[in-house]
Chain A
Amino acid sequence: MKIRSSQIFLSVGMLTGALIGIWAVVALIAGLRQSGWQVTELLRQYMVATGMIQHFNTMVDFYSHIKGVEYIICVVFFVAFPLFYRYISEDRKIVKTE
Chain B
Amino acid sequence: MTKPPHDSVSSAAFSGEPGRIARFVSGKILMAKSPKQYLTLVFSNPFNWLLAVVLAIGIPLLIQRYATGLGSVTHGSQDYPWGLLLGFGLFGMVPLSASGFLLSTAVEIFGRHDLKPIERLALLNGLLGYFFAVVYLLVDLGMPWRLTYPMFVSFGPAAVLFLVAWHVATYLSVQIGEMIPAFAEWIGWDRGKKFIKRITLGLTIAGIILSTLHQGALGALFCYAPGKIHPLWISPEFQWIHFFCSSIYAGLCMVIVVSTLVAFFLRLRCDENFKNSLDRITITLSRGAAYAMVTYLVIKLVALAHDQEWGYLLTGWGGYYVSEMVIGVILPLVLLTYGSRHHLIPMLRIGSLLAVLGILWNRLNTVILCYNWKLHQEIPHFKEVWLVLTILAIYIITYRFILYRLPVLFTWKESDRSNNPAR
Contact = CB atoms under 8 A, between A and B. Distances in A.
A53 B310 contact: yes
Contacts of A87: 337, 341
Contact of A70 (B291, B302, B341): B302
Interface stretch (B186-194, B342-350, B389-397): B342-350
B280 interface: yes
A89 B301 CA distance: 25
B305 interface: yes
Interface string B307-327: 110110111001000000000
Interface in A73-98: 73-74, 77, 81, 84-85, 87-90, 92, 94-98
A92 B345 CA distance: 13
Nearest to B336: A88
A83 to B, nearest CB: 11
Nearest to A38: B314
User: Main SS of chain A's interface residues?
Assistant: helix
A19 B39 CA distance: 74
Given A40-B314, A47-B310, A96-B343, A88 B305 contact: no
Contact of B305 (A43, A44, A73): A73
Interface in A15-50: 40-41, 43-44, 47
B340 interface: yes
Contact of B298 (A65, A77, A89): A77
A62 interface: yes
A94 B343 contact: yes
Contact of B302 (A40, A62, A73, A89): A73
Contacts of B287: 88-89
Contacts of B346: 96-98
Contacts of B342: 92, 96
A73 B345 contact: no
Contacts of B306: 66, 70
A95 to B, nearest CB: 5
A10 interface: no
A52 interface: yes
Nearest to B343: A95
Contacts of A66: 305-308
B290 interface: yes
Nearest to B338: A88
B294 interface: yes
A14 interface: no
Nearest to B316: A40
A77 B343 CA distance: 25
Given A66-B308, A70-B302, A96-B346, 20 more contacts: A41-B314, A43-B313, A43-B314, A47-B311, A47-B314, A65-B308, A73-B301, A77-B298, A81-B295, A87-B341, A88-B287, A88-B290, A88-B337, A88-B340, A89-B287, A90-B341, A92-B341, A92-B342, A92-B343, A97-B345
7 contacts: A73-B298, A73-B301, A73-B305, A88-B341, A90-B341, A92-B341, A95-B345
Identify the 4 closest CB pairs spanning chains A and B, nearest first.
A69-B305, A40-B314, A95-B343, A52-B310
